[in-house]
Structure 1
Amino acid sequence: MFEESIVRTDAREKVTGEARYSGDLDLPGVLHLKLVRSDQAHGLITGIEFPDISDLSDHYFFTAADLKENSFGSLVKDQPVFADKKVRFYGEPVAMVAAPDEDEAAELSGQVRVFYEPLPVITDPEPALRPGAVPVQEEGNLANELHIARGDIEVGFSEADLIVSGTFDLPMQEHLYLETESGVAWVDERGVLTVSAATQNPFLDREEICRTLGIPREQVRIKTPWVGGAFGGKDGNTVQIYLALAAWKTGRPVRLIFSRRESLIATYKRHPARVKARIGFKKDGSILAFQGEVYFDTGAYRGLGPAVLGLGIEHFAGPYRVGNLKLDGYLVFTNKPPASAFRGFGAFQTQLSVETLINRGASRLGIDPIELRRKNALRKGDNWPLGNQLVSSVGLLEALETLRETRLWRERADNRDPELAWGMAAGSMCCGIGVGIPDTAEVTIEKQGEGYLVRAGTVEIGQGMLTALSQLAAGELEVPIDRIEIISADTEETHDCGTTAASRVTFIVGNALIAAARKLREDGGDSATGSAVFPGSLEEGIEPGLPHRIYSFIAAAVKLRVDPLTGEIALL
């Protein structure tokens, strides 16, 4: 079914401009929403003054007082929809305006006056954990911590011929998708609140809306049309609750589109991190000990930070054999925008430090950096640094050998130009079950004329999900791909397939689709529903443990020209 490349099933609509994103939907009588955002990074709210709109029809203000529950969060409900007592980052929503005209909504939001008692601003995660630091959250500044140890690192370092160490500060990173956070909402003729928004997890959105507004589940519908990029940044509430609140309270259709500035200052980011690491080597390049300490700056609220910390620690030691290991990880609150999911999910920050130190060690020992990695590379049957055995293919050696034979790497040996430099790194990433155990999905397939209708509650965010699922269905049902139609990401029309994130959709949702297709063929009926549950079962008293058994591996090299006077770097 994947023997040859095909044109993506969504290609024509997107390249011709026919694809309509949530913010494009034109609703008659729509009210435009604008959030009133904090101009303080940390402070107590002492008062709010609203302009008089008593003589204006169809103008509204909203605050925390309009909600049944003023909190949300993917893992922990620790973030307020509207800050009502304290603001914890610059740009945090305090109130919301609705008006018939977009410019008028923006003007009214600027007339709302919020008064604060400023508090000290915390921006560095390491000092934030010291005694006496001003607490961002009432519980303190430590959101989560993880500690892993194997062997005896003191013995390992004492026997090392070379120890290399370093501290690395990695900055916040913006997703910068083409489509900013946006959506519309309305109450349909049945009295059902419908939200159409750019989101990666519509079923979680429904639960958040039901809880914050106190609405029964059957009265809330979430639809997700085309999404203009996400990369983890739309896995959680951005506009959804605000849209739902305004539509439900006013009975009018509403639209909310974040400006690029709003998206930059106040939405989810990649976690900034401070990484401290040291590696002990023998003269022949063998790694004897590894110690790592990471401080992930999760901003004002947790978001998906605990999971990011977990994956960062899981991948901290890299794809190498390490007998003596000590890892310490801290997730810390600061007065920055909330950090959450971003492609790489914590592994990027920690592995970067390891690869830098591996290269330093190779240079100090006079060993080729590829050869040093080959010597320490994990192989099938080895244990991952956290103890789980690698039972499937382990491709690091193959990747390193392939890289060694490339023309780019071979020409490095003959270089005499002092302005040219070569760099390389290896890495690994878990595959398949990206959100932990158990992971589940459910898909329904129905006969439809000469083709089939697939109902899968997952989201096309630009990654090609619709094409992949269409290929799977066409292959299993033995029909041309143009006879497959997919309804996706609609809480009223599909089952919950979980979040569209963590590289899980093809594996988890795809297996549910395959189960449905095979059941349909075997039973001969008009429809069938298939499920995927991983793991299928656990014996009583057995904990699921680490969810990952399969990892992908990579080795890459770059050639650079570095200007010794200006420091300018050009990738060649």
Structure 2
Amino acid sequence: MKQYLRKSIKVNGCPHHVVASPDAMLVNVIRKQLGLTGTKLGCGSGQCGACEVIMNGKLVRSCIVRWDKVPQDAEILTIEGLGRPEKLHALQWAYVKTGAIQCGFCTPGFIMSSKALLDENPNPTREEVRDWFQKNRNACRCTGYVQIVDAVMLAAKVLRGEEEMTDFSELTRDGKIWGSHYPRPSAVYKATGTWDFGDDVALKLPEETLFAACVCPETHHAIVKKIDFSEAEKMPGVYKVVTAKDIYANKGTNRIRGQVGSKTATTNGWERRILVEEGDKIRQWGEAVAIVCADTEEHARAAADAVKVEIEELPALLNVKDAMAPGAVKVHEDIPDIDGIPNVFNKRPIKKGNDPKEDLDKAPYVVEDEFYSSRQPHLTIETDCGFGYFDEEGRLTLQTKSICVYRHQLMIARGLGLPPSKIRVIQNNMGATFGYKVGPTNEHLIGACVIATGRPVYMRLDMKEHIIRTPKRSPFLMKIRVGADENGKLVGLEHYWYVDHGPYSESSQDLTNKGGQFMLAPYKVNNIRGCGYTVFTNHKWCTAFRCYGGPQTYFGGELAIDMLAEKVGMDPLDFREKNLIQPGDTLPSGQRPEVYPLQAMVTHIRPLYEEAKKQAAALSTDKIKHGVGVAIGIYNSNDDGPDEANSHIELTKDGVILYNTWEDHGQGADMGCVGTAHEALRPLGLRPDQIKLVCNDTAKAPNSGAAAASRSQVMVGMAIVDSCRKLLDAMRKPDGTHRTYDEMIAEGIPTYYEGYYKATLRNVNGEVQHCTGMDDETGQGYPFANHMFGVFLAEVSVDVTTGEAKVDRMTLACDVGKINNYAVVEGQLYGGIAQGIGFALKENFEDVKKHNNLLACGFPYIKDIPDNIRLIHMESPREFGPFGASGTGEAPLSAPHAAIINAIHNACGIRIKTIPATPDRILKALEEAKK
């Protein structure tokens, strides 16, 4: 007989008498029993701080505090008790004003932690703030922490009476919000805990909602011999155990469409199963063979554990070298190999100019080496979650973290046995994705359960499951040969790159393209030969991650450039400047970029670079070596090829409504939409709050494409501008003034207008044309209309006794075109740099039994990221971009890690060619250097 505890507590000043299980965690009592969903459940193990509340004056991580440990008459303060949207606490106001909020999932925990800090120390230094967050494990994956510290320092001034809380309208520029620091519309709600994420909405679903728990045998590669769920079916609360047979019963194919996108691929893209059936193979860790649907999470998980799966283990191919080895077992027996290499299913040749072999053979300076980038985990604080149901029109409706709602609709329809028109996908407010939700992760599973049960179904992964079951950044193995003449000019490039994409081809083509499109892209290289191979392995299936393919490519390329500069005997920045692309030069794909800002960016960063070198020399000791490194990155701002987007607008009595699918995973889509439309509609004199958004619902908004490839500000932005221009043209009177809504209705003039844009550029002949794909034989074409540019300067210190490397300062000169919103763009730049630091030094997902929590995966906390990050904005206006804008999100993660690794070499003379540069790798390299 289970026993329960009744306690009297006071929450946000109100008394409550709560009965709960002794082993219930306080976070669940707060969220599920008291209904205060502002407190978030992230890691569930005290590693992220999203759940922090103040109890009896002390900060606690409520996910690791059991109910039986909560004192009788405890006084608990949650985010809801701090302030309301209409009456913000100083901390909430400061977080909004400084742009410290991106996805917002971690924000309530950070604000409560900040409150506890300022109660204890009302006048902290920035370093004391950082120490506090480090001690209390407040983790943010979005912001890079700088703006969060800014917010605490500003709030402290307000609370000390040194500054007043002002209206956010002061952040506009003479009434304009384009080019200002005006807060994103969602920020106030995120700061007050009133912004409902997926797990919050789930608590408000109908009573008959079922919880779904997957059955995932712990193996990388195995044949499923038998699935026995007879005992599980009898367990308490179980409604149904869903298997592949239920999908076939609905005439589904049980497959997911993977968008191969290449004529050279030997697969049609349908390799991925929804559920693995008896007689088929599990091809990666975390693959589901059945799903238990029960009345509660506890019952569903208990029954899932009771399902018995008999398997026959097969050899597991966990890296490209093993997968490509002669005689290697096939991941997919029915998919032919390419060029006689086992498990290779796609190739991307690159041929620009003449064959460089002869020039490289004769060149006085040549670097030929091999580089390997890690399987970087996305590590979002909100885990993968979502739910489904049949809506009022009988459509299968899926509310998830999708960042490409229309694409997901198409990818899963045939597999589930429904036409796309019968599937509705809605994006929930989400706690970031950084790209992993380009791939369907739960949509197909939830859909199968809703169809099989006829009831609403919710699925949420815990943090361990989230990390080991969701896709990762693909590792690249790169073999590079590059040379320079006696004057230090590049003469040619040969390179091969091998992409570990896990067991599925999904979205692999664009990724593999990047190795050809961006290897040495910042430099004039007229003659290039190379080829990229995409490889099936049994490690985690891979998908988009911020700057998809760019960080891998620039890791190899920017290290090779540094190594070549050293051989030539030139300073690394001098060598880069000597070889920069100049107006008229073309990228590896043969197209000219729309702007050439790199020379000006290097000029801006040079004095900082020279000063950093002097400081590094002065600070270095026998134990701590200081060094400086540089790297340059270019990345695209639209999807490869003929990209297009739609956005519609409707005039109403109260303002306008925008309809599109500019999905928001924390990057600021709401501000992107509002800022762009506000600027386009300036003749109407609208306030920002008069621009309403109806977004990211396939039943209500047109297809704007995925929120990926930093395409949205350009592509959806231009579609927004097109719709706004059409509306203004319709509203314009002969005298140049504009009709009111009532006048439009009275005159019978339509109030709804459709906007459209297709990626447009000027080709090498100066002619305007749409983007094209890459030629399958040469890799030449016009894939991108817009780009982003970054010059990175890293200053690091290396403890040669421990092997620990630390980034002391980062500088980024960045050109993302004209900036819509500085607070949003700067947040993206800080956050991308922070992820680059993690990629360089800590982050990995190699061993599923080890790398299954935030700490083990190398999550970068605040003391891993320098507070000193300098941003230099270079705003070259783009001809084809809304008001001169390009994209932003990917730029800061293109090459910061390469600058860091180059700085480590500058500090202590070692080359780390496999990342992350962990202390053991650095110590090993130091030992080898002594030999």
In 2: Cα distance, 1:182 partner to 1:94 partner = 19
In 2: Cα distance, 1:347 partner to 1:471 partner = 28
In 2: Cα distance, 1:503 partner to 1:69 partner = 33
Task: Look at both structures and tell me which one has the larger radius of gyration over its CA atoms.
Answer: 2
In 2: Cα distance, 1:157 partner to 1:177 partner = 44
What is the letter of the counterpart of residue 534 of structure 1?
A
In 2: Cα distance, 1:410 partner to 1:216 partner = 61
What is the letter of the counterpart of residue 37 of structure 1?
C
CA positional deviation for 1:257: 0.6
What is the letter of the counterpart of residue 134 of structure 1?
V
What is the letter of the counterpart of residue 276 of structure 2?
A
In 1: Cα distance, 2:798 partner to 2:551 partner = 24
1:5 corresponds in structure 2 to 181
What is the letter of the counterpart of residue 457 of structure 1?
T
Is 1:33 the counterpart of 2:235? The answer is no
In 2: Cα distance, 1:23 partner to 1:539 partner = 40
TM normalised by structure 2 equals 0.59
Is 1:43 the counterpart of 2:192? The answer is no
Contact 2:646–2:703 under 8 Å retained in 1: yes
Match of 1:569 among 805, 812, 816: 805
Aligned-pair identity (%):
27
Structure 2 stretches lacking a partner, 5+ long: 1-175, 260-268, 338-342, 732-749, 761-767, 809-931
Seen in structure 2, the aligned counterparts of structure 1 residues 493 and 413 have a Cα distance that, compared at 3 Å, is closer
Kindly provide the CA deviation profile for residues 118-137 of structure 1, in whole angstroms up to 9, marking residues without a partner as x.
11111221342233111001
Seen in structure 2, the aligned counterparts of structure 1 residues 233 and 14 have a Cα distance that, compared at 3 Å, is same
CA positional deviation for 1:570: 2.1
Task: Give every structure 1 segment of 4 or more consecutive aligned residues whose post-TM-superposition deviation is greater than 6 Å.
Answer: 536-540
CA positional deviation for 1:269: 0.3
CA positional deviation for 1:284: 2.5
Kindly provide the CA deviation profile for residues 486-531 of structure 1, in whole angstroms up to 9, marking residues without a partner as x.
0110111111111111111111111111111111111233111111
In 1: Cα distance, 2:445 partner to 2:423 partner = 14
In 1: Cα distance, 2:480 partner to 2:420 partner = 48
1:424 corresponds in structure 2 to 629
2:272 corresponds in structure 1 to 79
Q: What SS class does the counterpart of residue 230 from structure 1 fall into?
A: coil
Match of 1:526 among 734, 739, 751: 751
In the TM superposition, 1:272-421 aligns within 5 A as: 272-390=475-593, 392-406=594-608, 408-409=611-612, 411-412=614-615, 415=618, 417-418=620-621, 419-421=624-626
Is 1:65 the counterpart of 2:249? The answer is no
Contact 1:312–1:345 under 8 Å retained in 2: no
Kindly provide the CA deviation profile for residues 128-155 of structure 1, in whole angstroms up to 9, marking residues without a partner as x.
2233111001215112111223323222
Seen in structure 2, the aligned counterparts of structure 1 residues 208 and 401 have a Cα distance that, compared at 3 Å, is same
In 2: Cα distance, 1:228 partner to 1:414 partner = 42
Aligned length: 570
Match of 1:219 among 395, 411, 422: 422
Contact 1:233–1:267 under 8 Å retained in 2: yes
In 1: Cα distance, 2:492 partner to 2:752 partner = 57
In 1: Cα distance, 2:237 partner to 2:344 partner = 47
CA positional deviation for 1:534: 2.7
Kindly provide the CA deviation profile for residues 94-136 of structure 1, in whole angstroms up to 9, marking residues without a partner as x.
1111000101111111111111121111122134223311100
Structure 1 range deviating more: 87-96 or 273-282: 273-282
Contact 1:394–1:553 under 8 Å retained in 2: no
What is the letter of the counterpart of residue 629 of structure 2?
M
Q: What SS class does the counterpart of residue 322 from structure 1 fall into?
A: coil
Is 1:514 the counterpart of 2:709? The answer is no
What is the letter of the counterpart of residue 710 of structure 2?
S
Is 1:18 the counterpart of 2:194? The answer is yes
Structure 1 stretches lacking a partner, 5+ long: none
CA positional deviation for 1:218: 3.8
Seen in structure 2, the aligned counterparts of structure 1 residues 221 and 368 have a Cα distance that, compared at 3 Å, is same
Q: What SS class does the counterpart of residue 442 from structure 1 fall into?
A: strand
Q: What SS class does the counterpart of residue 289 from structure 2 fall into?
A: strand
Is 1:552 the counterpart of 2:788? The answer is yes
2:647 corresponds in structure 1 to 443
Is 1:121 the counterpart of 2:343? The answer is no
What is the letter of the counterpart of residue 72 of structure 1?
I
In 2: Cα distance, 1:40 partner to 1:330 partner = 26
In 1: Cα distance, 2:771 partner to 2:401 partner = 40
What is the letter of the counterpart of residue 195 of structure 2?
A
Structure ranking higher in strand proportion: 1
In the TM superposition, 1:238-257 aligns within 5 A as: 238-257=441-460
Match of 1:492 among 690, 699, 711: 699
In 2: Cα distance, 1:471 partner to 1:263 partner = 34
Q: What SS class does the counterpart of residue 128 from structure 1 fall into?
A: helix
In 2: Cα distance, 1:538 partner to 1:414 partner = 50
Is 1:469 the counterpart of 2:469? The answer is no
Kindly provide the CA deviation profile for residues 397-432 of structure 1, in whole angstroms up to 9, marking residues without a partner as x.
122111111164352585372433323233233333
Is 1:108 the counterpart of 2:271? The answer is no
What is the letter of the counterpart of residue 170 of structure 1?
S
CA positional deviation for 1:437: 2.5
In 1: Cα distance, 2:604 partner to 2:590 partner = 28
Q: What SS class does the counterpart of residue 632 from structure 2 fall into?
A: strand
Seen in structure 2, the aligned counterparts of structure 1 residues 503 and 538 have a Cα distance that, compared at 3 Å, is closer
Contact 1:404–1:410 under 8 Å retained in 2: no
Is 1:148 the counterpart of 2:350? The answer is yes
Seen in structure 2, the aligned counterparts of structure 1 residues 397 and 92 have a Cα distance that, compared at 3 Å, is same
Structure 1 range deviating more: 289-298 or 47-56: 47-56
Structure ranking higher in helix proportion: 2
Contact 2:521–2:587 under 8 Å retained in 1: no
CA positional deviation for 1:62: 0.9
Contact 1:183–1:198 under 8 Å retained in 2: yes
Kindly provide the CA deviation profile for residues 186-232 of structure 1, in whole angstroms up to 9, marking residues without a partner as x.
12344232211111111122223432222244432221121110111
What's the Cα RMSD here? 2.3
2:80 corresponds in structure 1 to none
CA positional deviation for 1:54: 5.1
Match of 2:290 among 82, 91, 95: 95
Structure 1 range deviating more: 419-428 or 318-327: 419-428
Q: What SS class does the counterpart of residue 293 from structure 1 fall into?
A: strand
In 2: Cα distance, 1:249 partner to 1:99 partner = 13
Seen in structure 2, the aligned counterparts of structure 1 residues 115 and 566 have a Cα distance that, compared at 3 Å, is same
Q: What SS class does the counterpart of residue 415 from structure 1 fall into?
A: helix
Kindly provide the CA deviation profile for residues 300-353 of structure 1, in whole angstroms up to 9, marking residues without a partner as x.
111212210101221112311113322121110011110111111112112111
Contact 2:520–2:558 under 8 Å retained in 1: no
Q: What SS class does the counterpart of residue 440 from structure 2 fall into?
A: coil
Seen in structure 2, the aligned counterparts of structure 1 residues 405 and 93 have a Cα distance that, compared at 3 Å, is same
Contact 1:429–1:552 under 8 Å retained in 2: yes
Q: What SS class does the counterpart of residue 405 from structure 1 fall into?
A: helix
In 1: Cα distance, 2:715 partner to 2:628 partner = 36
CA positional deviation for 1:537: 7.0
Seen in structure 2, the aligned counterparts of structure 1 residues 350 and 485 have a Cα distance that, compared at 3 Å, is same
Contact 1:38–1:93 under 8 Å retained in 2: yes
1:271 corresponds in structure 2 to 474
Kindly provide the CA deviation profile for residues 54-105 of structure 1, in whole angstroms up to 9, marking residues without a partner as x.
5866521111111111111341222101112111111111111100010111
What is the letter of the counterpart of residue 12 of structure 1?
V
